[in-house]
Amino acid sequence: MSEITLKGSLAKTAAIQLALVSPQQKNEALRSIANALIDNFEKILSANQLDINDAQANGISGTLLDRLRLDIGRIEDMAQGLIQISELSDPIGELVQTIDRPNGLHIRQIRVPLGVIGIIYEARPNVTVDAAGLCLKTGNAVILRGGKEALHTNKTLVEIINQALLDINFVPNTIQLIENPDRQIANEMMKANEYLDVLIPRGGAGLIQAVVENATVPVIETGVGNCHVYVEKSADQDMALAILVNAKVSRPSVCNAAESLLVDREIAREFLPKAYEALSLLKVELRGCDETIKILPAIQHAELEDWGREYLDLILSVKVVSGIDEAIQHIRTYGTKHSEAIVTKDETFAQRFLNEIDAAAVYVNASTRFTDGFEFGFGAEIGISTQKLHARGPMGLKELTSTKYIIRGNGQVR
Amino acid sequence: MSEITLKGSLAKTAAIQLALVSPQQKNEALRSIANALIDNFEKILSANQLDINDAQANGISGTLLDRLRLDIGRIEDMAQGLIQISELSDPIGELVQTIDRPNGLHIRQIRVPLGVIGIIYEARPNVTVDAAGLCLKTGNAVILRGGKEALHTNKTLVEIINQALLDINFVPNTIQLIENPDRQIANEMMKANEYLDVLIPRGGAGLIQAVVENATVPVIETGVGNCHVYVEKSADQDMALAILVNAKVSRPSVCNAAESLLVDREIAREFLPKAYEALSLLKVELRGCDETIKILPAIQHAELEDWGREYLDLILSVKVVSGIDEAIQHIRTYGTKHSEAIVTKDETFAQRFLNEIDAAAVYVNASTRFTDGFEFGFGAEIGISTQKLHARGPMGLKELTSTKYIIRGNGQVR
């Protein structure tokens, strides 16, 4: 019996019980885990150090090493995140709609857990705790498959979580970790339709692509964002500059960061030098179209592939456009339907942009960086969906649920 | 360029325009198609006759031939279906929620089309018109891939549809048919992520399984229903009998028909002979567990695989259970999470069944046959989802939509 088969069938049993657990019990479990993480911080840090040592021995450095590394502050953040989740209202059992039929059938649609959720992710061990908490809150059993770089840390975290759940007699096997680091087991997980109701990949474009291509389990695609800021000719240019800088620089490594600037020809000579000055100070490299280069001769030429790239870095592609039609056309061609912004004072253009741009989040006069479950006020986020089925944009608790129809009659037949 | 690449890119262009078409224009298009179908009924019947001739030459008969065959009544039904769709309220643009944030951001979530929908289906040509109408109403472009048995009919139907759309200058390429009958093209369609936002298979278990296993495009799984009627000991037995007969016999070939009867031991000696008598008169073959056989010695033994089978025929498996726990356990083991019914007078058992059975539709004292978009009052149905993502149970217009977030600010940055 493979690890997937074993843990999958344990998760299915857990899911049946979890669907019936009260909000109070689930919130107690979340608090219990939060306390246990704090109480066991030294154990977590020791395990994490093993992963860090292995990573360094394997020549891993920079961002990846930083993502892997825990400290007491990060452990406190994880615990605090669980407390926050415990304070959110419970979506399970929520009445979605009531339909009373002429034949006397009384139909209610209510919110229920998805069942068993699989999460495949990469190096960041905080995803382990975060995803576990969100799944538990929504009454779902979860099977976690983290990156092999974080295996010591993840094993310790899940041990601590499970001890905390055992201490309060919570449903066993609610949270399980796949410990076999083979790539093969991830592939098996992607096809485990018998056990998993949904699979959520969290990580880079490569991981997400692999899951989308190989999974037979329904997938919620998260992530890739080639986001644009379009500065329309009527824009308040100070506002445009502030939005552009924020969208590019405030956190370049995330999916809602801007990767490309479009600017109307009419204001390009005025706006581009200001943008260049501000962004250069912040170490952003610009890559421009021919017209941009004429205005900013010091910057690099953008190659064709630049327009489609999610740099996740301090790089910005820049294109001069003739107006909103070209801007919309460019975004349609190269965008990833994540987050797109226009800066304008013209209500007609604002409305056209909102209507005609097909993306999870479309902004008028605000930074693309707001596409986020917390910024939207959901109080939690499991990821940002860039597909159109089930969930689109930031996914909070509700997006980790399904519904069922409950129908009461008094002998109706058809 | 393959047919998928060509028609896929035309559909993408159509989808952009379709998202902006007014409800009035879409309803006019639906009425125009309805009229054209009636006006061209002879042309449709001639094309259908070619398919019927081919089918007969290939030895196809019975149910399959019946599904393929059109007559004037069926053409009128298709036209009438389109008129009904035109009268439903338009979900596109509907406000799903409004979120006003403390920083002044004004977030609205609105309903938008999915984009391009692929539908892979089998012999029934009415699906061509039905699916085209539902997709058009929801502002989606559609690529249809019907069974090769119905190709003459489908080609003629889509020609008539497109002429009707051309006559009123409606968005071209809204509705397209894949004409290449090769199996390979269906496989290509399943992986056409660049062009398709969602794929809906409609047909038998084999087709659906093939799509789930091969598709990289997000799929909405429809269909398979191994539905149970559980007669609890307190049940009104006349009601139970009426529900059982209706659920089994009123239309045995559909997914919401009952395939299995569970009956409490305490009333089995009383209820089963009545059930046997009523169902035998209606030519239903019973297959029973050991205890059932002791009560009804004339019937066949159920084999282990009977419990999991969707007969779609006048056959019913019958099992005596010790009570609700065994009934629930049996349904968990063998059910397909489609539609499940309990007949009972005991509110505690009713509530337990509703809570503990994980299915798209759970009934107390009513027939499983009501799991249907029209019976639920949606006015339309594209299929019945048995998955938990995006849509569960009967899918109407709303289930053919996605949402997007529209955010207005006045220079907010993060």
Q: Is the pLDDT of residue A61 over 90?
A: no
DSSP bridge partners of A343: A231
CA B163 to chain A, closest CA, distance in angstroms equals 27
Which domain range does residue A359 map to? 227-370
CB contact (8 A) between residue B364 and residue A405: no
Amino acid in position B367:
S
CB contact (8 A) between residue B404 and residue A112: no
* Residue B390: both structure tokens together: 């995006």
Can you give the CATH number for the domain in which B101 is found?
3.40.605.10
CA A399 to chain B, closest CA, distance in angstroms equals 9
CB contact (8 A) between residue A408 and residue B365: yes
- Give the distance from CA B249 to its chain's centroid: 19
Q: Are residues A314 and A398 in the same domain?
A: no
Residues of A in contact with B246 (CB under 8 A): 413-414
Residue A20 has its nearest CB partner, among B19, B356, B366, at B356
CB contact (8 A) between residue A410 and residue B101: no
Q: Are residues B210 and B67 in the same domain?
A: yes
A155 φ, ψ (degrees, to nearest 5): -60, -45
* Residue B124: both structure tokens together: 């029934």
CA A290 to chain B, closest CA, distance in angstroms equals 28
Distance, CA of A212 to CA of B385 (rounded, Å):
21
Helix (H, G, I), strand (E, B) or coil at A270: helix
- Residue B203, pLDDT score: 84
CB contact (8 A) between residue B406 and residue A115: no
| pLDDT band at residue A304 under the 50/70/90 scheme | very high
pLDDT digits (tens, 9 = 90+) for A366-398: 999 999 999 999 988 999 999 899 999 999 999
Residues of B in contact with A221 (CB under 8 A): 218
Tokens 């295996």 identify what position? Answer: A151
* Residue B12: both structure tokens together: 């993408």
Residue ranges of E strands in B311-360: 315-321, 339-343
Residue B392 has its nearest CB partner, among A99, A213, A403, at A403
Q: Is the pLDDT of residue B248 over 80?
A: yes
CB contact (8 A) between residue A366 and residue B242: no
Helix (H, G, I), strand (E, B) or coil at A89: coil
- Residue A93, pLDDT score: 96
| Closest-approach residue (CA) in chain B for A256 | B414
- Residue B1, pLDDT score: 80
- Residue B222, pLDDT score: 85
Residue B404 has its nearest CB partner, among A107, A360, A367, at A360
| Strands B285-288 and B315-321, sheet pairing | parallel
Tokens 């989740």 identify what position? Answer: A85
Q: Is the pLDDT of residue A72 over 80?
A: yes
* Residue B308: both structure tokens together: 């999991």
Q: Is the pLDDT of residue B344 over 90?
A: yes
pLDDT digits (tens, 9 = 90+) for A162-193: 999 999 999 999 999 999 999 899 999 999 99
Which of B26-30, B83-87, B180-184, B233-237 bottoms out in mean pLDDT, i.e. has the lowest? B180-184
Residues of B in contact with A371 (CB under 8 A): 405
CB contact (8 A) between residue B404 and residue A365: no
Contacts of A355 (CB under 8 A, 6+ apart): B19, B20
Q: Are residues B216 and B244 in the same domain?
A: no
pLDDT digits (tens, 9 = 90+) for B180-239: 999 899 999 999 999 999 999 988 888 988 998 899 999 998 878 999 999 999 999 999
| Closest-approach residue (CA) in chain A for B388 | A402
B119-154 as b/e: b if 16+ CB within 10 A: bbbbbbbbbbbbbbbbbbbbbbbbbbbbbbbbbbbb
- Residue A168, pLDDT score: 98
Residues of B in contact with A332 (CB under 8 A): 16
- Residue A302, pLDDT score: 98
Q: Are residues A209 and A341 in the same domain?
A: no
Distance, CA of A266 to CA of A290 (rounded, Å):
16
- Residue A67, pLDDT score: 87
Instruction: Report chain B's mean pLDDT, rounded to a whole number.
Output: 96
Q: B22 in a domain, yes or no?
A: yes
Q: A27 in a domain, yes or no?
A: yes
- Check: CB of residue A121 under 8 Å from CB of residue A150: no
CB contact (8 A) between residue B406 and residue A354: yes
Distance, CA of B120 to CA of B353 (rounded, Å):
35
Tally of domains within chain A: 2
- Residue A222, pLDDT score: 84
CB contact (8 A) between residue B413 and residue A198: no
Q: A382 in a domain, yes or no?
A: no
Q: Are residues B10 and B112 in the same domain?
A: yes
- Check: CB of residue B160 under 8 Å from CB of residue B129: no
Helix (H, G, I), strand (E, B) or coil at B344: coil
pLDDT digits (tens, 9 = 90+) for B52-72: 999 999 998 887 898 899 999
Q: B33 in a domain, yes or no?
A: yes
Can you give the CATH number for the domain in which A321 is found?
3.40.309.10
- Residue B162, pLDDT score: 98
CA A46 to chain B, closest CA, distance in angstroms equals 35
CB contact (8 A) between residue A356 and residue B107: no
Residues of B in contact with A212 (CB under 8 A): 193, 216
Q: B380 in a domain, yes or no?
A: no
Q: Are residues A140 and A251 in the same domain?
A: no
CA A302 to chain B, closest CA, distance in angstroms equals 24
CB contact (8 A) between residue A404 and residue B358: yes
- Residue B309, pLDDT score: 94
Q: Are residues A187 and A234 in the same domain?
A: no
CA B414 to chain A, closest CA, distance in angstroms equals 7
Q: Are residues A288 and A244 in the same domain?
A: yes
- Residue B268, pLDDT score: 98
Q: What are the start-end ranges of the H helices in A335-402?
A: 347-356
| Closest-approach residue (CA) in chain A for B371 | A405
| Closest-approach residue (CA) in chain B for A197 | B388
Residue B198 has its nearest CB partner, among A366, A389, A392, at A389
Tokens 């200058």 identify what position? Answer: B169
Residue A412 has its nearest CB partner, among B19, B367, B402, at B367
- Mean pLDDT, to the nearest integer, of A89-118? 97
| Closest-approach residue (CA) in chain B for A385 | B404
Q: Are residues A201 and A268 in the same domain?
A: no
| Closest-approach residue (CA) in chain B for A361 | B405
Q: Are residues A247 and A213 in the same domain?
A: no
Residues of B in contact with A408 (CB under 8 A): 350, 363-366
Residues of A in contact with B16 (CB under 8 A): 332, 356, 358
CB contact (8 A) between residue B105 and residue A193: no
- Residue A223, pLDDT score: 76
Q: Is the pLDDT of residue A310 over 80?
A: yes
Q: A379 in a domain, yes or no?
A: no
Which of A98-102, B64-68, B127-131 bottoms out in mean pLDDT, i.e. has the lowest? B64-68
- Residue B223, pLDDT score: 76
Which of A34-38, A105-109, A200-204, A276-280 bottoms out in mean pLDDT, i.e. has the lowest? A200-204
Distance, CA of A186 to CA of A262 (rounded, Å):
40
| pLDDT band at residue A115 under the 50/70/90 scheme | very high
| Strands B401-412 and B106-113, sheet pairing | antiparallel
Q: Are residues A321 and A177 in the same domain?
A: no
Contacts of A22 (CB under 8 A, 6+ apart): none
Residue A243 has its nearest CB partner, among B99, B363, B413, at B413
Q: Is the pLDDT of residue B242 over 80?
A: yes
Task: In chain A, count H helices and then E strands.
Answer: 14, 16
Give whole-number Cα distances, A327 to A244, A310, B13, B319, in Å.
16, 18, 16, 65
Q: Is the pLDDT of residue B145 over 80?
A: yes
- What share of chain B has pLDDT > 70, as a percent? 100
| Closest-approach residue (CA) in chain A for B116 | A388
Distance, CA of A80 to CA of A35 (rounded, Å):
10
Minimal CA–CA distance to A25: which of A103, A127, A139? A139
* Class of residue B166 by CB neighbours under 10 A (exposed 0-12, middle 13-18, buried 19+): exposed
CA A122 to chain B, closest CA, distance in angstroms equals 22
* Residue B313: both structure tokens together: 């025929």
Residues of A in contact with B250 (CB under 8 A): 413-414
Residues in chain B: 414
- Residue A205, pLDDT score: 82
Contacts of A125 (CB under 8 A, 6+ apart): A48, A51, A68, A70, A146, A150, A153, A154, A157
**How many pairs of residues across A and B have Cβ atoms under 8 Å apart?**
206
Position with higher pLDDT, A202 vs B299? B299
Q: A376 in a domain, yes or no?
A: no
pTM over 0.90: yes
DSSP bridge partners of A261: A229, A318
Distance, CA of A125 to CA of A153 (rounded, Å):
7
Q: Are residues B338 and B354 in the same domain?
A: yes
| Closest-approach residue (CA) in chain B for A352 | B20
* Class of residue A348 by CB neighbours under 10 A (exposed 0-12, middle 13-18, buried 19+): exposed
- Mean pLDDT, to the nearest integer, of B326-330? 98
Q: A414 in a domain, yes or no?
A: no
CB contact (8 A) between residue B405 and residue A360: yes
CA B411 to chain A, closest CA, distance in angstroms equals 5
| Closest-approach residue (CA) in chain A for B329 | A16
CB contact (8 A) between residue B358 and residue A414: no
Residues of B in contact with A246 (CB under 8 A): 413-414
